[in-house]
Structure 1
């Protein structure tokens, strides 16, 4: 069942979103060769706590960290590790902050030092597709409009969409209805209505979108070793159009 939010509740999610956005900005200043994703995870947890928030991922279904840190061919749910990042790699940091009982979720892919043109293309295409999807998150449109816009951009840029991982509603809980696919047919699916708050979080890969889960039960990586990027915002559906709460 979808939990529709009032304007006041959306503002509470926005406050959590500001913590996430500010933390991402600080992480962007810290990502460089030699830094470990465990360093980043510890920083993110301390930063959220300094803002009066807490990392909602930590403890979720036994998850032990404040962030997910997915490097290169790991496309989602990578575990932070004490392994130095290397020049030319890419890493996605995904985090959820809880502030006064309300949650906001955002993922961002970062270049480690200088990356090659193929990785720049991948990152730019995935980010642009996120905003193409957000532009369709308008009251009266349907979820298929969001997925279709993302998929069309992936097709145009010749990347594949990892369909195994999807967006979702968010509010008091990390994962609420509805499910938000990043592929689909325009004009289909559940109608978007004012008061809905969702995440849009496409993952594009340079090769095939098939993934496997490591023995740790979390880490999702491509079968063929191709690299992936992900960008995510928490978005409110309002009468004035889509409002990004983690910008």
Structure 2
């Protein structure tokens, strides 16, 4: 999506505020003994109350209102009867359609206290997201996003999951400019433009460079180690980008 009118930005910001609120509420409720299905029901209820629809359900028929990934599952985890335990590494990804606008956000966290290794992974992934957002400017190459993410990962002694990345969003969950790699691709000549709406969502890992099918048709898992993701929906401008989530 390309923002052309103030009303479009306002609509996107309303959708962004909603998914950000749902993510924060689900994160607060993610305590030991809670089932991921219960967390998902909480998010689904907030969407219904706001008159919104789950974007993964609407777009792909996903078997949950939100994606909740635990431990070695890095993305697209199906909410089920899994009980959260102290020390679990969890990712919640919330995307929704509200009044024709789609916004997408996500965050990883540890239930209870994080180990030093878990905290290092979380801090680095959040840093990669924020650094990539900070360098967004209309006219710059899209591959600068992957360059920045990869640079943070290397400095922190971590790896980038290469088959997961950012994407266009706004009037659909996934749209132009398509997939935006989290690693540097020198062949990618695409450029950012004024009003472009994209996600920034690095996936950093301790050992893996790919996420593999977990066998349920949806979930993607690290074969070794763990991974984390942090995500915002962002509008590109000639100056500082606008974060709507």
TM-score tier (shorter)? over 0.9
Deviations 1:124-182 (A, max 9, x none): 10011000110121112111111101110000001111011111111111100112111
Is residue 149–residue 183 contact of structure 2 (8 Å, CA) maintained in 1?
A: yes
Equivalent residue for 1:110? 109
Equivalent residue for 2:3? 5
Name stretches of at least 5 consecutive residues in structure 2 with no aligned partner.
none
Equivalent residue for 1:199? 199
CA–CA separation in structure 1 for the residues paired with 2:77 and 2:26: 17
Residue 211 of structure 1, CA deviation: 2.5
CA–CA separation in structure 2 for the residues paired with 1:211 and 1:180: 16
Deviations 1:61-96 (A, max 9, x none): 221210111111111111111121110111100111
Q: How many residues align?
A: 243
CA–CA separation in structure 2 for the residues paired with 1:9 and 1:151: 32
CA–CA separation in structure 2 for the residues paired with 1:8 and 1:239: 19
Q: How much is the aligned-residue C-alpha RMSD, in angstroms?
A: 1.5
Match runs of 1:38-53 below 5 Å: 38-53=37-52
Equivalent residue for 1:130? 129
Name stretches of at least 5 consecutive residues in structure 1 with no aligned partner.
none
CA–CA separation in structure 2 for the residues paired with 1:185 and 1:166: 12
Does residue 142 (structure 1) correspond to residue 141 (structure 2)? The answer is yes
Task: Give the TM-score taking structure 1 as reference length.
Answer: 0.94
Task: Give the TM-score taking structure 2 as reference length.
Answer: 0.95
Does residue 80 (structure 1) correspond to residue 76 (structure 2)? The answer is no
Does residue 165 (structure 1) correspond to residue 180 (structure 2)? The answer is no
CA–CA separation in structure 2 for the residues paired with 1:26 and 1:104: 17
Q: Which consecutive segments of 4 or more residues in structure 1 shift more than 2 A?
A: 59-62, 185-189
